[in-house]
Structure 1
Amino acid sequence: MATPLTAAEFLAALKREGVKVVEVGDWRHHNRNAKGPWGPVNGVIVHHTVTSGTKASVDICRNGYSSLPGPLCHGVIDKDGVVHLVGYGRANHAGGGDPNVLQRVVEERYGDRPPAPKKGNLDGTDGNRHFYGFECINLGDGKDRWSEEQLEAIERVAAAICRAHGWTAKSVIGHLEWSRDKVDPKGVGMPGMRDRIAARLKTKPGSGGTTTTTYTVGRGDTLWSIAASKLGDGSRYKEIAKLNGLKDADDISVGQKLKLPKK
C-alpha cells in the first residue's frame, strides 16, 4: 500500500522513465475525488479504449459520458506511444473488482497471472480508489494491432510508477485480471508485459529500448523455427509465446509482428 504520488511527482517519474507526455488542460486537478477516496494505491491497471483516433479518444477519456463522467483514466496512450495526461486523483477507470486479486497484487504474490476474478463492477471492491489507470487507444476487436511504440509506452509508464513506489512488475495488471466483466486490454499478453516491465526495472530509469527485438512472421514459419533461427535454440519457442501472450504455439499468421527475447 502507498500514498498516491503528487501530480508533480507523478509527472516527474514519467519523464525520468523517458515517457513522451502531453499535458491536457488542468489535468492535475481534474478528478472524481468528491465522489470517494483516492488511495491508498496498490498498482496500475491497463485498459483499451474501444475507440480510434487520438483526439476523439483523449476527449472521451477526459470528459467521459453522461452516465460515466470523466476522467476515465489518468493517461491515454496513443498509437505513437505518447501519453496524454487527462486527470489526476480518483478516476472512473477500474470500477469494481475482485478483493482476492487486490490482496494478491498488494502482496505481489502470484505466478504468471493473478487468480481469475470472481467479482466484477457491480459486486466488487472499489478499484478506482486503489489503482492508477491508463487507457490505450485500441478498438479491442482482436484485429486492431498494437504498435511497438504503444507497447513500449505501457512498459515505461508502468515501470515509472513501480519504481516511484518501490513495487515490482506484479503490481501491474490488465482490467480483465481485475474484473470478471472485462476483456481489456485485448491483444496484450499481460504476463509478457510484466516480463518487459520487470526487465526495465533492472535498468536505469529512462534507459533506451526494451529487452526485445521484433520479427515479422513469414510463410512456413513456426514458433520453433523462429526460435531456432533467431535465438539459436528451438526450445525457446515457449519464451516467444509467453512474451507475445500466445496461448497456442501455432497461433501465428503471415505478416504478424512478434517480439523476440534477446539471445
Structure 2
Amino acid sequence: MAAPLSATRLLAALRAEGCTVVEHPGWSSHNRNHKGPFGPVHGVMIHHTVTKGTATTVRICHDGYAGLPGPLCHGVIAKDGTIHLLSSGRANHAGLGDDDVLDAVIAERPAPADDETTTDGNRYFYGFECENLGDGWDPWPAVQLEAIERAAAAICRAYGWGERSVIGHLEWQPGKSDPRGFSMGSMRARIAERLDRVAPEPPKKPTPPAPKPAPVKRPPFPGRAAFALGQSSPAIEQLGRQLVKRGFGRHYRVGPSRQWGEADRKNVADFQRSRAELRGDADGYPGPLTWHLLWS
C-alpha cells in the first residue's frame, strides 16, 4: 500500500524534478479528508480546466463552486508551466470511475476502456488540473506540457512507479474528454523517457547573452608633429601595432618600429581610405580623427 506523500515530500519531489512551484497559503492542510480517505494512492490523473486565465483558474480550483467544493486538484499547471500547489490531501478531481482501470493502473498495464463509475478516484489518485479551455483549439504551450511531464514523473519517481500509473480523466470516467489537445499515450511516452534517466534533468535555461567586449582603451593622441619624417617615439610603434591589428600592415617588411617611415605613412593611408569619414584626407598622416577611429 502506498501512503500519500507528506506535503514536505510532495513539494521536495516536484522541485527535485525541476518543477517551478508556487505554494498557495494553507495548501498543505487544504483538503477533503473529512469527507473520505485519501490513500492508498496508486497513480496520477491529468485534467483540463475549461477555464481561461491563471488567477481565475487557481481561484476556482482552490475554492470550488456550488455542488463541488474545493480543492479540485492537488496542483494547477498554468500555461507558463508554473505549478500552483493547492492541496496535499484528498481533492475533488477524479470522481467515480472504473475499477478495472484502477486495477490496470496498480498492475501498470494498459488500461481497458472505461465503462463504469463504481470506484472513488479521489481516494486513489493525485490530480493536476491544467489551464486550458478544452475545446481542442486552445494551444498547449511547450512549457506547460513539459511541466505536466515533470509533475507526473516527480510523483512516479517518489513511489517507484512507471508511466502506466499516469492516466487522463477521460480514461477513468465515461463521458469525460480531458485532457483534450494532446494524447495521454504521447504524454506517457515522455514520462517514461524522463523516468529512464538516472536523475531528474533541470529545466532548460535560456543561454545568457555573451558579455559585451570590454571597451578598447584608446591612448591619448600625441599630436600631428609626432608623425613627421625623422621622428621617433613609443606612440609611432603603438600606432603601427594597432594598424597591424586592424589589418593594415602590408607595407611593413619587419613590423612596426619607433621610427616614423614611409611604410607607416602608406599603412595609415590605407586605413584612411577604408573609412568614409577620412577618404577626402587620406594623406597617410594621422590626425585626431584617424587616431580615434583606429582605436574604435
Decide whether the 8 Å contact of 1:70 with 1:92 is kept in 2.
Answer: yes
Residue 188 of structure 1 pairs with residue 182 of structure 2: yes
Q: TM-score, normalised by structure 2?
A: 0.68
2:114 to 113, 117, 120: 117
C-alpha distance in structure 2 between counterparts of 1:34 and 1:133, whole Å: 18
Q: Name which of 150, 173, 177 aligns with 2:171.
A: 177
Output aligned runs, 1:58-77, within 5 Å.
Answer: 58-77=58-77
Which AA in structure 1 matches 2:182? Answer: V
List structure 1 segments (4+ residues) > 3 angstroms apart after TM superposition: none
Is this contact kept in 2: 1:57–1:137, CA < 8 A? yes
Deviation at 1:87, TM superposition (A): 1.4
Q: CA deviation at 1:205?
A: 3.5
Aligned residue in 2 for 1:50: 50
Identity %: 61
Q: TM-score, normalised by structure 1?
A: 0.76
Partner Cα separation in structure 2 for residue 162 and residue 206 of structure 1? 12
Residue 195 of structure 2 is matched in structure 1 by 201
What is the CA-CA distance between 1:203 and the residue it aligns to? Answer: 1.3
2:102 maps to 102
Question: SS state of the match for residue 128, structure 1?
Answer: helix
Q: Which residue of 2 aligns with 1:146?
A: 140
Counterpart in the other structure of 2:27: 27
Equivalent pair of 2:19/2:203 in contact (CA under 8 Å):
no
Instruction: Return the alpha-carbon distance in structure 2 between the equivalents of residues 162 and 185 of structure 1.
Output: 19
User: CA offsets per residue over residues 85-144 of structure 1, 9 Å max, x none?
Assistant: 01120000000000000000000022xxx2110013xxx200000000000000000000
How far the C-alpha of 1:147 sits from its partner, in A, is 0.6
Deviations 1:142-200 (A, max 9, x none): 00010100000000001100000010000000000011021000012101100000000
SS at match of 1:173: strand
Matches of 1:38 and 1:155, distance apart in 2: 23
Contact (CA 8 Å) 1:16, 1:205: kept in 2 or not? no
CA distance in 1, matches of 2:39, 2:131: 26
Determine helix, strand or coil for the equivalent of 1:71.
coil
For residue 13 of structure 1, what is the aligned residue in structure 2?
Answer: 13
Tell me how many residue pairs correspond in the alignment. 204
What is the distance in 1 between the residues matched to 2:122 and 2:175?
Answer: 15
Q: Give the SS at the match of 1:15.
A: helix
* Structure 2, unpaired ranges of 5+: 205-296
Higher relative CO (Cα under 8 Å, sequence separation at least 6) belongs to 1
CA distance in 1, matches of 2:151, 2:166: 10
**Could you say which residue in structure 1 is the equivalent of 2:262?**
none
CA distance in 1, matches of 2:185, 2:59: 30
Q: Which amino acid aligns with 2:147?
A: A
1:208 CA displacement: 4.1
Provide the C-alpha distance between the structure 2 equivalents of 1:109 and 1:48, rounded to a whole number of angstroms: 24
Residue aligning to 2:269: none
Q: Distance between the aligned counterparts of 2:15 and 2:23, measured in 1?
A: 12
Cα offset, 1:69, TM superposition:
0.2
Distance 1:205 1:63 in 2: 36
SS at 2:123 equivalent: coil
Cα shift at 1:30: 0.1
Is the CA contact (8 Å cut-off) linking 1:42 and 1:105 kept in structure 2? yes
> Quick one: which amino acid aligns to residue 4 of structure 1?
P
RMSD: 1.1
Contact 2:52 2:131 in 1 (8 A): yes
